[in-house]
Amino acid sequence: MNKKRSMDRLSLGKASEDIAVKYLRRRHFKIIGRNYHCRVGELDIIARYGAILVFVEVRSTRENSSIDPMDSITSLKIERLKTLARIWLMNKGIDNAPIRFDAIGIIHNNRVFGPRCVIKHIQDAF
């Protein structure tokens, strides 16, 4: 992948996460972490919804893509996210909190009238 395309992808990912955070906040989620990194990988968003800790995976594509962003969450990715969540919980000393995993898919539509997107939120996705 060339540098420009890689940067476009990184920009799209960052913009998608920003959109997801705004979306979640409007729905009364409290964002408590973003882009948690460790040796296993990265958690995009960690939020609280009432008493529930929610680990949110954000996936995105452009409108002209033939791929649904949710289809890019593989079983290997799910296992990695669960491992990451366990590590995050252990590092925070949290051992009995109710948790769930949500997925947010964003399809970007950049037309003349400005950026627009379609947001699909699946609660308790896996």
User: Mind listing the pLDDT tens digit for each residue in 29-66?
Assistant: 999 999 999 999 999 999 999 999 999 999 988 766 66
Q: Architecture of 3-122 per CATH?
A: 3-Layer(aba) Sandwich (3.40)
Whole-structure pTM value: 0.86
Average pLDDT over residues 1-10: 54
Average pLDDT over residues 73-82: 95
Q: Is 82 exposed, middle or buried (0-12, 13-18, 19+ CB in 10 A)?
A: middle
HSE on the CB side for 91, CA within 13 Å? 9
| Sheet strand arrangement including 41-49 | 30-38, 41-49, 52-62, 99-111, 114-122
What residue segments make up the domains of the chain, in order of their start?
3-122
The amino acid occupying position 22 is K
Q: Using the 8-state DSSP alphabet, how is residue 92 labeled?
A: H
User: Mind listing the pLDDT tens digit for each residue in 91-108?
Assistant: 999 998 999 999 999 988
